[in-house]
Amino acid sequence: MFFEGSEKKLEIIVNASAPKLRSLDRTFWVGLVAASNADILSSISNEYCDAYLLSESSLFVWDDRLVMLTCGTSSLVESACYCIERLGEQAIAYVCYQRKNEYYAHLQASSFGDDVLRLRHFIAGQAHRMGHLDSHHHYTFTTDKEYQASRFDTTNELLMYHISGPIADYLRGDQQSMVQIGLMLQLEQLFNGFSIDQYLFSPLGYSINGIRGCEYFTIHITPQENSSYVSVETNIDLTTTQVDIFAELVRLLQPNSCDIIGFNSNIANKQFLKYLCLSQCAMTIEQGFNIHFSHYQQDCLEVLNPTLL
Asked whether residue 272 carries a pLDDT value surpassing 90, the answer given is no
The answer to whether 56 touches 71, Cβ cutoff 8 Å, is: yes
Whether the Cβ atoms of residue 103 and residue 6 lie closer than 8 Å to each other: yes
Dihedral angle over CA of 276, 277, 278, 279, nearest 10: 180
**Which one, of 257, 247, 260, lies nearest residue 291 by Cα?**
260
- What is the spatial order of strands in the sheet that 65-70 belongs to? 40-45, 50-54, 57-61, 65-70, 8-14, 92-100, 137-143, 125-131
Question: Looking at the domain assignment, is residue 70 inside a domain?
Answer: yes
164 within domain boundaries: yes
* Range of the structural domain that residue 149 is part of: 8-298
306 against 265, higher pLDDT: 265
Query: Does residue 304 form part of some domain?
Result: no
Supply the pTM of this predicted model. 0.95
Spacing of C-alpha 144 from chain mean position: 22
pLDDT tens string 151-181: 999 999 999 999 999 999 999 998 899 999 9
CA distance linking residue 229 with residue 162, whole number of Å: 6
Percent of the chain predicted with pLDDT > 70? 99
Q: How many domains does the chain have?
A: 1
Does residue 233 lie in a domain region? yes
Query: Is residue 268 very low, low, confident or very high in pLDDT (cuts 50, 70, 90)?
Result: low
Residue 1 has pLDDT above 70, yes or no: no
Instruction: Say yes or no to pLDDT of 54 above 90.
Output: yes
In terms of Cα–Cα distance, which of 120, 118, 138, 119 is closest to 130?
138
Examine the pLDDT at 221 and tell me if it is beyond 80: yes
Question: Residue 73: its pLDDT value, please?
Answer: 85
pLDDT at 136: 84
Q: Measured between alpha carbons, how far is 211 from 217 in angstroms, rounded to an integer?
A: 7
Residue 190 DSSP class: H
CB–CB of 191/291 below 8 Å?
Answer: no
Instruction: Specify if 45 maps to a domain.
Output: yes
Q: Three-state DSSP class for 250? A: helix
**Strand ranges (DSSP E) for the chain?**
8-14, 40-45, 50-54, 57-61, 65-70, 92-100, 125-131, 137-143, 155-161, 195-200, 206-212, 215-222, 229-234, 257-263, 275-284, 290-298
pLDDT value of residue 72: 86
Say which residue, 249 or 106, is predicted with more confidence: 249
Q: Is residue 105 part of a domain?
A: yes
Q: Tell me, what CATH number does 169's domain have?
A: 3.60.90.10
In a domain, 140, yes or no: yes
Q: Is residue 187 part of a domain?
A: yes
**How far is 190 from 199, CA to CA, in rounded Å?**
19
